[in-house]
């Protein structure tokens, strides 16, 4: 299952979505026009009832057709625009709309802690930011969803019944299914679908209000020569047409989502290497009295996003999900059609299962320190890890159980004070500040004074408390810590984030230079949080050829070549290897001088390269992997710069520094 191919499929589905939507709008306009013609005829009949001269029925009224078209389009477009703006914050807006409550590890129950652990393990293994998890407390059924526009604003939503009834393996299968939707581009398509279809459903809502207002003033309307009857007729017609809109909405959602559910089920099996997990979850849906049904009145809008069907089962064209038995048989051909009796797990079972699922040994090996050639602000440090660039590309957008277990071992190996500090925003801020403290005592004292002045003495004390434990976790921990911190820091208010961002900026400027760890943290953490608190305008693809970004491509590949090289000759060899596939396509690249590869320039280049078409991103990521793996090894500095490039391109790459790529060898 190729990440880039799946993304391309999702984009093609988006184009078909627009076609389906346009057809539905045309049919709704035509239907409303005929309702309006009949309403006009009713008024004419009522007006001429006394003289017995019934006017003939004429179906073509150009002015009426134009008026109905303009009004209908205005309602649909404004309705869709309203809902799209309402959901501009991405997945969190969908979760709140459905009644979700964000889970906080600091006060989570045992079953909630288990859910949070599984999501963290899956996120780190897949190379995506750890998504916030929302619990739908009022929902008794077994269901879940993933929502968001990008990897940075994705969330996971889970029903209360899901964590109460499913074992760890079953819950992991459900979460793997939802991560498939994140990695395959489905969630972006799904959230666009909610916004578009709201405009169609709005017709029925308006009809309801017309009918209700007409009923309140029925007596006066009857005195106006049939106008009241016409208005009530329009109201009833709008409700009927709205029902037609609902039909088309369900038809569109079914056309878009049904096959994607089969793909997500298959991906979940591939991710976990445990078909019994997701199959068991589906069987419990069939055996549970609540099934996967949703109580929320908003669930209809998001029915295509859920793990299981959230309403009474539809068949054929209107089913957003394949039949439950068919989904199970594709995973477990031995399924005999009988569903098990389902009962909630006891708390003791949850705790025991979670303890059994957490390995106790850390997954780091021992590798020698390289001596790379430094470029401005990019002094490499840490252990080099064997790396095959082909495996890097093969691992994009994919997860397997080895990689998940590796992530679990890494998480379990975190020192207890660090693990606890990551559970709430106050201490997580201090972790970030500790990561930015300089090795030189004079600069560090200035930075700590800045923390005390801007954030208060308690924050300084917390930062000083966590410095040693953050450094003890090692350079390998920096990227995963940033991913976990991003999820926790979304709980800040916008004002708190502004203060936090300003403090980070001051700490970075304290030594009058920008180094790689600071650059990575600003791009991966602060950049992602800015998108959360200040959702940007989503830019369309602008470059369908690398010829328009040759300078930026040369800059990135030169920087990667230098950061892992011990001399100029080795850097040139790395660039030549990385550029070879591009030169075959007529893109001529040369190694830039070291002074030209400054981090500020790299940031500007990444902003431009983010507008590349998906196939070009694949080529660029492949060349970047070749640059860092020319010598067969990758250092933490190379891994961090590579990960930052991949994140800017919205390409999920598992964390190389905890051995995830090596563990992720395709099978």
Active site residues: 178
What is the DSSP code string of 105-141? GGG--HHHHHHHHHHHHHHHHHT-PPPPEEEETT--S
Report the alpha-carbon angle 459-154-295, nearest 5: 110
User: Phi and psi (nearest 5°) for 339?
Assistant: -100, 145
Partners of 543 in the β-ladder: 612
Distance of CA 243 to CAs 23, 211, 248, 318, 340, Å?
A: 16, 15, 9, 13, 37
User: Phi and psi (nearest 5°) for 302?
Assistant: -110, 20
For residue 467, give the nearest of 494, 483, 447 by alpha carbon. Answer: 447
CA distance 187 to 87: 13
CA distance 77 to 495: 33
Burial class (CB in 10 A: 0-12, 13-18, 19+), 419: middle
For residue 207, give the nearest of 16, 402, 22, 75 by alpha carbon. Answer: 75
CA distance 210 to 230: 11
**Looking at residue 525, what DSSP letter applies?**
I
**476-507 b/e (C-beta count within 10 Å ≥ 16 → b):** bbbbbbbbbbbbbbbebeeebbeebbebbebb
């Amino acid at each position: 299952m190729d990440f880039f191919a799946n993304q391309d499929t999702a984009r093609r589905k988006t184009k078909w979505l627009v076609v389906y939507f346009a057809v539905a709008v045309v049919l709704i306009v035509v239907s409303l026009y005929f309702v309006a013609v009949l309403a006009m005829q009713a008024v004419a009949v009522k007006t001429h009832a006394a003289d017995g001269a019934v006017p003939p029925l004429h179906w073509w009224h150009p002015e009426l057709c134009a008026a109905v078209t303009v009004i209908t389009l205005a309602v649909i477009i404004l309705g869709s625009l309203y809902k799209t703006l309402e959901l501009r914050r991405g997945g969190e807006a969908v979760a709140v709309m459905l009644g979700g409550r964000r889970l906080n590890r600091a006060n989570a129950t045992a079953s909630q802690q288990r859910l949070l652990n599984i999501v963290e393990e899956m996120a780190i293994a897949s190379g995506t930011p750890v998504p916030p998890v929302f619990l739908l407390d009022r929902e008794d059924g077994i269901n879940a969803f993933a929502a968001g526009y990008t990897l940075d604003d994705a969330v996971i939503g889970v029903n209360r019944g899901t964590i109460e009834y499913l074992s760890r393996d079953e819950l992991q299968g459900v979460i793997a299914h939802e991560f498939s939707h994140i990695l395959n581009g489905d969630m972006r398509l799904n959230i666009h679908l909610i916004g578009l279809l709201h405009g169609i459903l709005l017709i029925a809502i308006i009809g309801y209000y017309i009918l209700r207002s007409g009923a309140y003033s029925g007596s006066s309307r009857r005195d106006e020569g049939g106008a009241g009857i016409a208005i009530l007729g329009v109201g009833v017609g709008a409700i009927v047409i709205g029902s037609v809109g609902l039909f088309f909405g369900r038809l569109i959602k079914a056309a878009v989502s049904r096959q994607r559910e089969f793909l997500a089920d298959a991906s979940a099996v591939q991710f976990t290497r445990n078909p019994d997990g997701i199959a068991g979850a589906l069987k419990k849906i069939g055996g549970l009295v609540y099934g996967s049904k949703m109580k929320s009145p908003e669930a209809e809008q998001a029915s295509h996003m859920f793990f299981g069907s959230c309403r009474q089962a539809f068949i054929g064209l209107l089913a957003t999900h394949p039949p439950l038995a068919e989904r199970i048989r594709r995973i477990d051909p031995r399924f005999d059609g009988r569903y098990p009796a389902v009962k909630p797990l006891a708390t003791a079972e949850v705790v025991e299962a979670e303890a059994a699922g957490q390995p106790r040994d850390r997954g780091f090996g021992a590798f020698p320190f390289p001596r790379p050639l430094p470029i401005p602000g990019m002094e490499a440090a840490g252990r080099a890890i064997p790396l095959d660039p082909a495996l890097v590309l093969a691992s994009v957008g994919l997860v397997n159980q080895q990689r998940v277990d590796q992530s679990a071992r890494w998480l379990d190996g975190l020192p207890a004070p660090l693990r606890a500090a990551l559970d709430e925003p106050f201490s997580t801020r201090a972790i970030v500040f500790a990561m930015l403290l300089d090795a030189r005592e004079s600069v560090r004292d200035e930075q700590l004074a800045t923390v005390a002045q801007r954030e208060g003495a308690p924050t300084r004390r917390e930062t000083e408390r966590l410095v040693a434990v953050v450094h003890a976790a090692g350079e390998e921990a920096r990227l995963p810590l940033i991913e976990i911190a991003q999820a926790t820091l979304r709980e800040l208010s916008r004002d708190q984030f502004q203060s936090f961002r300003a403090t980070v900026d001051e700490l970075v400027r304290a030594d009058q230079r920008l180094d790689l760890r600071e650059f990575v943290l600003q791009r991966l953490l602060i950049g992602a949080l800015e998108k959360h608190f200040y959702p940007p305008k989503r830019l369309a693809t602008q470059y369908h050829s690398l010829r328009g970004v040759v300078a930026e491509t040369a800059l990135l590949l030169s920087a990667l070549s230098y950061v892992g090289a011990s001399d100029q000759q080795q850097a040139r060899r790395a660039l030549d290897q990385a550029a070879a596939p591009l030169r075959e396509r007529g893109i001529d690249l040369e190694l830039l001088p070291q002074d030209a590869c400054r981090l500020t320039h790299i940031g500007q280049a990444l902003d431009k390269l983010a507008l590349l078409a998906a196939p070009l991103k694949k080529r660029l990521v492949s060349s970047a992997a070749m640059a860092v793996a020319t010598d067969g090894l990758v250092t933490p500095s190379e891994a961090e710069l590579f990960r930052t490039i991949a994140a800017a391109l919205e390409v999920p790459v598992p964390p190389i520094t905890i051995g995830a790529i090596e563990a992720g060898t395709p099978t």
